[in-house]
Amino acid sequence: MSSIIEVKGLKKDFGALQVLKGVDVSIEENEVVCVIGPSGSGKSTFLRCLNRLEEITDGEILIDGVHLSKDNENEVRTEMGMVFQSFNLFPHMSVLDNVTIGPRKVRKVDRKEAEHKALELLSRVGLADKAHGYPSSLSGGQKQRVAIARALAMNPKIILFDEPTSALDPEMVGEVLDVMKGLAHGGMTLVIVTHEMGFAKEVADRVLFMDEGYIIEQGTPDEIFNHPKEERTKNFLSKVL
Amino acid sequence: MLYVKGFLVALQGVPVTVGVTLIAMVTGAVLGLVLALMKMSRIKVLTALASLYIEVIRGTPLIVQALIMAYGLPQLMQSIGINFRWTYLIIPAIIVCGLNSAAYVAEVIRSGIQAVDKGQMEAARSIGMTKRQAMQLIVIPQALKIVLPSFGNEFVSLIKETSVLSYVGVVEILRKGALWNAATFNTFEAYIGVALVYMLLTIPSSKLVKRLEKKMSTDSAN
């Protein structure tokens, strides 16, 4: 069986700065992968390369066996949602429109059907009563849950999370992580860049530790958190745990 | 009383001034949006063309542009054997104001688009929208909202700027006053009348813009 995400020799430069120096990794369907590492390690860039928000400098990315390129980026993205650190909800649209705009405009689903599904998703993230409000009336945690519903509305096979709780007040982190746990248990393929080590320990099937543009070490949460082999991993964990 | 007469004479020019301004503003908005998109395009030729256009328009006075359009162009056409005359001078006047306003509006819209958070485009693309869809549905609506007050200011200054059209034979507010002056030599009353009519248009418009600005800033604060 082929992996749903296959990354080979991925390199990414920003001008003279080399952020990713050669990343190889395969992610299986239904797998929950957490990417951890110090800031500047390239973990967010790695994630953003997976849906081509960043154009890669060298290497290859296969999504569901298809070589990711400029020509198929839009189709690939419909199968791969993304949740951002800063939510990026569309402020000029109601919560319901935020969730339905993708299905309606990209998948050409009719409004009624899209709204029906959106309401279902909003109740799944506990926000059905906010459907007709605007993003500006929501708390950070609520915004991020809407962002997750927006990603889910496209019926993706994969969801990428880019530090989804880093911009949240501490008391709101839990509600977002709970929704993400639900997705993980529901069998969705998730790639999560996170600083929430407790969450990674609990939910991840596999943890990738990145530093200076490489994946230094990977393994089960138990292997990474309790028996790290690499010096840099130990060093990082001693600072964050 | 002569001041009242002067005011009433100038008032007759209001429909032309407001008409020219409105049509020019709409043309300017549409063309300005196109120019702004061209200027931000990755296609170098489009960027260069838009920049050139904006430089030329912003680098020359409106009156000169109006003279070229109203009198220069027909003369040029005739010299190459095409018999061309403007039937109504208000037509080149509207065209020139629209073309002029487009250059200013383009810069306003461009700054508006750039003021929209980069994350908005990324979020739109991340759900599979094309760049065009993302611009149309997500970025431009937010940009227009941001630039609405600047648009209003552009409208107010355009009302005043159309006064130069009196030099190319368009009978708008200033021209009405000037003609009355020529006929009666009530110079001071004529031009005071003209000034008052302009204020009648610009002061309420500016007030409206201020209101809009205030509303926008409280909106974005939420």
Contact of A83 with A147, CB cutoff 8 Å? yes
Q: Is the pLDDT confidence value at A128 over 50? A: yes
Name the DSSP class of A21: E
Cβ contacts below 8 Å, chain A against chain B, sum to 63
Whether residues A81 and B126 touch (CB distance < 8 A) is answered with yes
- How high does pLDDT run on average in chain A? 95
Which of B141, B102, B112, B88 has the alpha carbon at shortest distance from B40? B112
By the 10 Å C-beta count (0-12 exposed, 13-18 middle, 19+ buried), A227 is classed as exposed
- Do the Cβ atoms of A172 and A6 come closer than 8 Å? no
Read off the pLDDT of residues A135-174 as tens digits, 9 standing for 90 and up.
999 999 999 999 999 999 999 999 999 999 999 999 999 9
Mind telling me how many Å the CA of A235 is from chain B's nearest CA?
33
Q: Where are the domains of chain B?
A: 2-216
Q: Which residue of B has its CA nearest to A86?
A: B119
- Asked if the C-beta of A92 comes within 8 angstroms of chain B's C-beta atoms, the answer is yes
Residue pair A26/A5 in contact by the 8 Å Cβ criterion? yes
**Two structure tokens written together for B172:** 């708008």
Place of tokens 């109601």: A94
Rounded to a whole number of angstroms, the distance from the CA of A85 to the nearest CA of chain B is 10
For residue A93, give the chain B residue with the closest CA.
B138
Pick from A75, A92, A151: CB nearest B141: A92
Beta strands in chain A (DSSP E): 5-14, 17-27, 32-36, 58-63, 66-67, 80-83, 158-162, 189-193, 206-211, 214-219
Reported ipTM? 0.93
Mean pLDDT score of chain B, rounded to an integer? 92
pLDDT confidence of B209, banded at 50, 70, 90? confident
Q: What percent of chain A has pLDDT over 90?
A: 98
Q: At the fourth CATH level, which superfamily is domain B2-216?
A: MetI-like (1.10.3720.10)
Read off the pLDDT of residues A170-213 as tens digits, 9 standing for 90 and up.
Answer: 999 999 999 999 999 998 999 999 999 999 999 999 999 999 99
Quick check: A91 pLDDT over 90? yes
Structure tokens at B35: 């120019």
Which residue, chain included where needed, has tokens 């960043």? A54
Q: Tell me, what DSSP letter sits at residue B205?
A: H
Q: Is the pLDDT of residue B65 over 50?
A: yes
* Tens of pLDDT, residues B163-199: 999 988 899 999 999 999 999 999 999 999 999 999 9
